[in-house]
Amino acid sequence: MQHDLFTTNDAPEPISIGADALLLPQFLSAYEQQLVRAIDTIIARAPWRQLTTPGGRKLSVRTSNCGKYGWYSDRAGYRYVACDPLTGQAWPQLPQVFVEQAQAAAEEAGFADFQPDACLLNCYQPGVKMGLHQDCDEEDLSAPIVSFSLGLPAQFLWGGWQRSDKVQRIRLQHGDVVVWGGEDRLRFHGIAKVAGGNHPLLGGQRINLTFRQAKR
């Protein structure tokens, strides 16, 4: 499926990474400026912050959220909340470009009618990583996960259904999208330490947008 009228036949082919998981290389290339402007607007209202795990460890990645719900972590546990605990205000709305491209990517991967109500923004500086984990705090696990990569490249750690399963390393570039659901929905995944560098749009950082359907 083409996600707009300007997509050409020269676009890289989707790459299957599982029975119900797809890597869409350079899927966002035509929208990078719009996406970065939208991120700046979100962060102005819901600034980056470092969350704390229930065990008291501070995450190295900086986070924010937009949408009806935001993913949050502190001593009380992992959960979705309707208001930003930092400001007491509702999270910024999902920008239209976010919704359109997340839905287009989901449909490309075979998941029609994806209705994201939450977007977690993660900011990785060089040396920052994300350990293997499952996305399992959502009420409806039938909806897929849609993940945008912007800025510096990263190694996506794509594991199995047990933390001890063999991990595949998949290089993610600026503009790539990964979609997984169905049989692959609860695979363990993470990000290896991000290497240093300088991206023309985002400088020395990687920003990941993860879209989810948090509530039924």
Binding residue positions for substrate: 71, 78-80, 137, 163
Q: How many residues are given for the chain?
A: 216
Q: Which residues belong to the annotated binding site for 2-oxoglutarate?
A: 122-124, 206-212
Q: Which residue type occupies 15?
A: I
DSSP type of residue 175:
T
Task: Please name the residue ranges forming H helices in the chain.
Answer: 32-45, 96-108
- How many angstroms separate the Cα of 72 from the Cα of each of 77, 148, 188? 8, 19, 19
Known binding positions? 71, 78-80, 122-124, 133, 135, 137, 163, 189, 206-212
Identity (one letter) of the amino acid at 61? V
Annotated binding residues for Fe cation, written as ranges, equal: 133, 135, 189
Question: What distance separates the 2 farthest-apart alpha carbons in the chain?
Answer: 49
CB atoms within 10 A of CB 81: 16
